[in-house]
Amino acid sequence: MLITFFRSIILYIIVLIVMRLMGKREIGQLQPFELAISIMIADLASIPMTETGIPISNGIIPILGLLVMHLIISIINMKSLKGREIICGKPRILIYRGKIDEKALQRERFTINELQERLRGNNVVNLGDVEYAILETSGQVTVIQKPEKRNTIPEDFNIQPEYEGIPYDIVIDGRIMEKNLQAIGKNYAWLKKQVEKFNMLPEEALVVTIDGKGQIFCQKKE
């Protein structure tokens, strides 16, 4: 029992390291070759995790082999357009200029109901509002609405918004983010002065953030 416990921990750490080395892409955005490798890694790790008679190296070595294969395919993917097309495929237009491409749906084995579901996932409930719908290589559907149906933006009214910048976390769960403080050119004395306006110390805060306009959000830990 104890051996199985420690083997599980070791394999978990190995799989975690391998997945981190593979990159930060979200599960829903995995390319087919990445999804295949992820599934294979899960299978390879599960066998030596439960079968104590199998050497743990029988799981670790193939997992590392898959990591090497992933890195090779990733390099081909970045360097070769043709290789990228073979490995990942090409995006396919499902709706073109407001008209559904039935042949494209058939090639991708997409039903009208599935297309409507993907559109709703993009906050589009009416097929008639769509100018283009593109099935990406990751399986996601990108939707471009007709001009009259899109949300208005300041540019439509010739308005130039003020630059907002990026918000920074400067305290998380009572821990001061020193690097973020340095990035905004501030120090602990300034932080303490700002947080005291909320009747607390920085170490007592659950979260403190500052946006590009200098506005501070602060909440105390319970």
Average pLDDT per run of 10 along the chain, which is 222 residues long?
73 76 60 75 78 78 84 84 79 92 90 91 91 88 89 80 84 92 92 92 93 89 86
Q: How many other CB atoms sit within 10 Å of the CB of residue 199?
A: 9
Q: How many other CB atoms sit within 10 Å of the CB of residue 40?
A: 15
**Is 157 part of any domain?**
no
Whole-number pLDDT of residue 25 = 56
If asked whether residues 22 and 71 sit together in one domain, one would say: yes
Which of 86, 119, 136 terminates a domain? The answer is 86
If asked whether residues 30 and 66 sit together in one domain, one would say: yes
**Is 138 part of any domain?**
yes
If asked whether residues 23 and 58 sit together in one domain, one would say: yes
Amino acid type, 100: I
Which of 59, 86, 113 terminates a domain? The answer is 86
Its domain, for residue 77, covers 2-86
**Is 156 part of any domain?**
no
Whole-number pLDDT of residue 99 = 93
In the sheet with 92-96, reading across from the earlier edge strand, the strands are 99-100, 92-96, 130-135, 141-145
Number of compact structural domains in the chain: 3
**Is 126 part of any domain?**
yes
If asked whether residues 144 and 209 sit together in one domain, one would say: no
**Is 117 part of any domain?**
yes
The first and second tokens of residue 220, run together, are 């105390």
